Chain A
Amino acid sequence: MSAAEPILRVTDLNVSFGGRSVVQGVSVTVNPGECLALVGESGSGKSVTARSLIGLAGSGSLVRAETLEVAGHDARNLSQRRWRTVRGRQVGFILQDALTSLDPLRTVGKEIDDALRVHSKGSGAERAARVIELLEAVGLDDPVRRAAQRSGELSGGMRQRALIASAIALDPVLIIADEPTTALDATIAASVMELLGGLRQSGSGMLLISHDLAAVATVADSIAVMQGGRIVERGPREQIFEDPQHPYTRALLAAVPAGKPRFTRLSPTAQATAATSSHSQPGEAAAPNGLPGAVVRPLLRARGLAKTFPLGKSADLTAVRNVDFELLPGRTLGVVGESGSGKTTTARMALGLLAPSAGTVEFLGEPWSSVPESARRPRRALLGAIYQDPLSSFDPRLSTGAMLADALSGGATRNPRAHVGEITELLAQVGLDAGLAARNPGTLSGGQRQRLAIARALAPKPRVLICDEPVSALDVSIQAQVLDLLDDLQRQLGLGYLFISHDLAVIRHMSDEVLVMRAGEVVESGATEQLFTAPQHEYTRTLLAAAPTLLGR
């Protein structure tokens, strides 16, 4: 195969499952040293497309294509046996969830060695040397030690690097990466993307799959946007970002919160909720401190908050130390940091679910963290919370309507008929159809579940919502709708948000003030724009540098 030949050439790819067509007429070409990004939301057919290219579309699938050439093979006629030599040796596959892709009982070195051994590359000693070389190439520190560790002993970023090492072990000419950084923190995601970009320079072709246009912005040479099983727009990266033609591409670009000032709408207005009709203009609503002239009392105030978890005899784990904040009505206080920085511990103390080791939380000017739960209970209705995984916070035995009835009545009844009007109103407020009241939350989509969680939190008419990674598990386009909804509700109801996220772009878009946390401490805090435009602390600068942005914006 000469270098000029494309590594991947697909024309008119169609995939269906039991008569249901999920991919229609997709054509893509990847040349050596080129990276093509396939972007679309869940269900757009992008992952099925990728899996079809390596003969793993799944049981019950019917794959058809006019041309399907993978690394010089006509993939339509490959036997299972031949496929096995193509996969791994010529095509490397990187999945989103490195934890489940790696065998928890085997060492990382063994896992990578496997790829080499199956394709019989060299003696044991040669392979061992190659494993170390690979782990070094993917940027793992102390590769000899890493090779002897199991996947459970590694962090998410390290696992993803190990998985990449096994995918590139045999120098594949084509690398397919399906959401490789979606589960990772921003700084780690940035370095993994950089690593993937570097692989391309060695002449491999790459097919990168993501729901997030911003995530692929740094690596992709060209981008194909998928919607409903079809490619709706394709072109060089700059063209897609600067001159998008298709409305769906524009919607995806608009959904990316990076670089969008506060109160800018992220989702198309057609999808905006019923709540939007009564709004004031964004600029005017942004006026800080709401009440003119009056001294605004903080809703929530933390002083010297700290939490230490005892870890046996010697060392204690300090999860949070010396955190101060004030949350004002109608404002959002963003808390940003990577996993393990103490964000969630802080939120749990603010919620009164965890007693601080030192310091206090006051809610509406009265003691909150220092009083017993029975004294907090009467004021609980005024402090709501939404979580990253809404479904796990619902009682699986209750229907949507029963859950809202329970929340509306303070636990007195679960009969939806007792509160039909209020339930319909609540559902409409969060942009859900009244017909969903009869459904079980398990049958709802991710975005609908989060809307439902918001509806439940709103039911007791709270003053403050504590939002712990509320959009981290959602696609960018759905995330945009949920963020817009939270924005609308804040302006209508004057809610204060304590908004926790690892995503800087989301934080910047949502917050009036920001706390940057690292290893349990607030390293920097201040007004959002000031902090983002003139970061004082080294760590804030590192975070900002790692955050994906759209080119030319």
Chain B
Amino acid sequence: MSIFQQSKPVGDPLLNPQKTHARRREATLVRRLAVRLPLLASAAVLLFFVLAAIAPNLLAPFDPLAINPAQAFSAPGAGHLLGTDESGRDIYSRIIHGARPSLLIGAAATAIGLGLALVLGTIAGFGGRWLDFGVARILEVLFALPGLLLALVFIALAGPGVATTVIAVGLTSAPGYARIIRAQIIALRTSPMVEAATVLGRSRSRILTAHILPNALAPITVLATLGLGQAILWAAALSFLGLGAPPPAPEWGTMLSAGRTYLSLAWWMTFFPGLAIVLVAAASTVLSRSLKSGGGQ
């Protein structure tokens, strides 16, 4: 078989990699770790803040509201890990205690947005031509206004506070979700799958609840984790403007706002709450992205 041994792989050598198995395995291991590193880091960050939200006393060494004027404006260091504010309150402890309201506001706002979107999307997708027309126009108007402006209008009407912040942020995120749900429902409504269910004698409501909604919501759950970071960001922005949680409360946006006055004197008062917001928003975005691309490999 001398001729056979002369034979070569046909075509582009790049298309016919002849790496040894060991080398290939090593390469894939490194690549896999590189792919997973941001994912693992994000999971760790979120776990930390969720733990902080559930049991802040476990992680925080000080009372977030305890005033100690003697210690005011301490720089980050041994006694106070991330420094103290103008009343000598420990920034680290305040960030830990602030996790609960901040995360809750984000989660509640996303839930409200999703709930509203589900109602609007289902009405539009399932309600017939005129309802669809009406809802679509409402969504377009909501889309035309910048999200934050919409939230501000709502707060101006309903008055500031945590509850109104949550509703305002939920309201602004609803149109995006609603549009996707509507499109999903319309596509599913005429799908062979629904036709098959009709042929099997399923009722309209049964088809809606058992086949259409679960399949329409699958892509939305991924999107909602992406929206969670966004909602936390918006809630913090509204608090920063003084429209959310009132000042003494350890809410991240409120802390940012309070620190702003002393920015030249004590940078840590704004930097660390801001970092917490960025970390949570970024981590939830990375996680949802990997969910979207199929559960991170």
Which residues of A pack against B, CB within 8 Å?
12, 52, 55-66, 68, 75-78, 80, 83, 351, 353, 373, 377-378, 380-381, 383-385, 387, 389, 392-397, 407, 410-411, 456, 460
Q: Is there contact, CB below 8 Å, between B4 and A460?
A: no
B12 contacts A by Cβ under 8 Å: yes
Q: Can you show 13 pairs from A to B with CB atoms below 8 A apart?
A: A57-B11, A62-B9, A63-B16, A64-B4, A65-B10, A66-B7, A353-B198, A380-B199, A387-B192, A389-B192, A393-B195, A396-B193, A411-B201
Using known A-B contacts A397-B215, A411-B210, determine if residue A63 contacts B192 with beta carbons closer than 8 Å. Answer: no
- On chain A, the residues within 8 Å of B36 by CB distance are none
* Nearest 4 pairs of A and B residues by beta carbon: A380-B201, A393-B196, A63-B10, A55-B11
Q: Is there contact, CB below 8 Å, between B12 and A80?
A: yes
- On chain A, the residues within 8 Å of B210 by CB distance are 411
B264 contacts A by Cβ under 8 Å: no
Using known A-B contacts A353-B195, A393-B195, determine if residue A68 contacts B214 with beta carbons closer than 8 Å. Answer: no
A377–B198 Cα distance when bound, in Å, is: 8
Given contacts A64-B9, A395-B215, A410-B201, 12 further A-B contacts (CB under 8 A): A55-B10, A57-B10, A57-B11, A60-B15, A64-B8, A78-B10, A353-B199, A373-B198, A387-B192, A387-B196, A392-B191, A460-B201
B32 contacts A by Cβ under 8 Å: no
User: Which of the four size classes fits the interface of chain B?
Assistant: 20 to 34
A353–B197 Cα distance when bound, in Å, is: 11
Using known A-B contacts A66-B3, A381-B201, A395-B215, determine if residue A61 contacts B15 with beta carbons closer than 8 Å. Answer: yes
Name, among A57, A395, A407, the residue most crowded by chain B CB atoms within 10 Å (CB to CB). A395
A157–B192 Cα distance when bound, in Å, is: 26
Q: Is there contact, CB below 8 Å, between A66 and B4?
A: yes
Q: Is there contact, CB below 8 Å, between B192 and A407?
A: no
- On chain B, the residues within 8 Å of A83 by CB distance are 11
Using known A-B contacts A351-B199, A383-B199, A411-B200, determine if residue A76 contacts B8 with beta carbons closer than 8 Å. Answer: yes
Which residues of B pack against A, CB within 8 Å?
3-4, 7-12, 15-18, 191-193, 195-204, 206, 210-211, 214-215, 218
A interface majority secondary structure: mixed
Smallest Cβ distance from A338 to chain B, in angstroms?
A: 22
Name, among B10, B197, B198, the residue most crowded by chain A CB atoms within 10 Å (CB to CB). B10
Q: Is there contact, CB below 8 Å, between B199 and A384?
A: yes
Smallest Cβ distance from A391 to chain B, in angstroms?
A: 9
Q: Is there contact, CB below 8 Å, between A396 and B201?
A: no
A78–B200 Cα distance when bound, in Å, is: 58
Name, among A80, A381, A411, the residue most crowded by chain B CB atoms within 10 Å (CB to CB). A411
Q: Is there contact, CB below 8 Å, between A75 and B196?
A: no
Partner of A377, one of B11, B195, B201, B218: B201
- On chain A, the residues within 8 Å of B4 by CB distance are 12, 64, 66
Q: Is there contact, CB below 8 Å, between A394 and B8?
A: no
A397–B217 Cα distance when bound, in Å, is: 12
A68–B12 Cα distance when bound, in Å, is: 15
Q: Is there contact, CB below 8 Å, between A385 and B11?
A: no
Partner of A62, one of B16, B199, B203: B16
Using known A-B contacts A76-B7, A80-B12, A83-B11, determine if residue A460 contacts B192 with beta carbons closer than 8 Å. Answer: no
- On chain A, the residues within 8 Å of B206 by CB distance are 411
Partner of A393, one of B7, B192, B203: B192
A308–B264 Cα distance when bound, in Å, is: 76
Q: Is there contact, CB below 8 Å, between A380 and B7?
A: no
Q: Is there contact, CB below 8 Å, between A380 and B200?
A: yes
A141–B195 Cα distance when bound, in Å, is: 39
Smallest Cβ distance from B116 to chain A, in angstroms?
A: 24
- On chain A, the residues within 8 Å of B18 by CB distance are 62
Q: Is there contact, CB below 8 Å, between A395 and B11?
A: no
A230–B73 Cα distance when bound, in Å, is: 81
A378–B200 Cα distance when bound, in Å, is: 10
Name, among A378, A381, A393, A394, the residue most crowded by chain B CB atoms within 10 Å (CB to CB). A393
- On chain A, the residues within 8 Å of B7 by CB distance are 64-66, 76
A410–B12 Cα distance when bound, in Å, is: 56
**Closest A-chain residue to B8, C-beta based?**
A76
Q: Is there contact, CB below 8 Å, between B215 and A396?
A: yes
Q: Is there contact, CB below 8 Å, between A59 and B196?
A: no
Using known A-B contacts A410-B201, A411-B200, A411-B206, determine if residue A58 contacts B15 with beta carbons closer than 8 Å. Answer: yes
- On chain B, the residues within 8 Å of A392 by CB distance are 191-193
Using known A-B contacts A392-B192, A396-B215, A411-B206, determine if residue A68 contacts B10 with beta carbons closer than 8 Å. Answer: yes
**Closest B-chain residue to A376, C-beta based?**
B201
**Closest A-chain residue to B4, C-beta based?**
A66
Using known A-B contacts A62-B9, A389-B192, A393-B195, determine if residue A460 contacts B200 with beta carbons closer than 8 Å. Answer: yes
A54–B211 Cα distance when bound, in Å, is: 46
A410–B204 Cα distance when bound, in Å, is: 14
Smallest Cβ distance from A15 to chain B, in angstroms?
A: 9
A424–B18 Cα distance when bound, in Å, is: 46
Using known A-B contacts A377-B203, A411-B202, determine if residue A395 contacts B10 with beta carbons closer than 8 Å. Answer: no
Q: Is there contact, CB below 8 Å, between B200 and A393?
A: no
- On chain B, the residues within 8 Å of A55 by CB distance are 10-12
Using known A-B contacts A55-B10, A66-B4, A353-B198, determine if residue A61 contacts B16 with beta carbons closer than 8 Å. Answer: yes
- On chain B, the residues within 8 Å of A64 by CB distance are 4, 7-10
Q: Is there contact, CB below 8 Å, between A385 and B9?
A: no
- On chain B, the residues within 8 Å of A68 by CB distance are 10
A377–B206 Cα distance when bound, in Å, is: 12
- On chain A, the residues within 8 Å of B202 by CB distance are 411
A393–B211 Cα distance when bound, in Å, is: 11
Smallest Cβ distance from A110 to chain B, in angstroms?
A: 28
Partner of A63, one of B11, B200, B215: B11
A60–B192 Cα distance when bound, in Å, is: 36
- On chain A, the residues within 8 Å of B12 by CB distance are 55, 80
A246–B97 Cα distance when bound, in Å, is: 78
Smallest Cβ distance from B292 to chain A, in angstroms?
A: 17
- On chain B, the residues within 8 Å of A381 by CB distance are 200-201
Using known A-B contacts A55-B11, A76-B10, determine if residue A385 contacts B199 with beta carbons closer than 8 Å. Answer: yes
Smallest Cβ distance from B188 to chain A, in angstroms?
A: 10
A209–B202 Cα distance when bound, in Å, is: 44
Smallest Cβ distance from B54 to chain A, in angstroms?
A: 31
Name, among B18, B191, B196, B197, the residue most crowded by chain A CB atoms within 10 Å (CB to CB). B196
- On chain A, the residues within 8 Å of B195 by CB distance are 353, 393
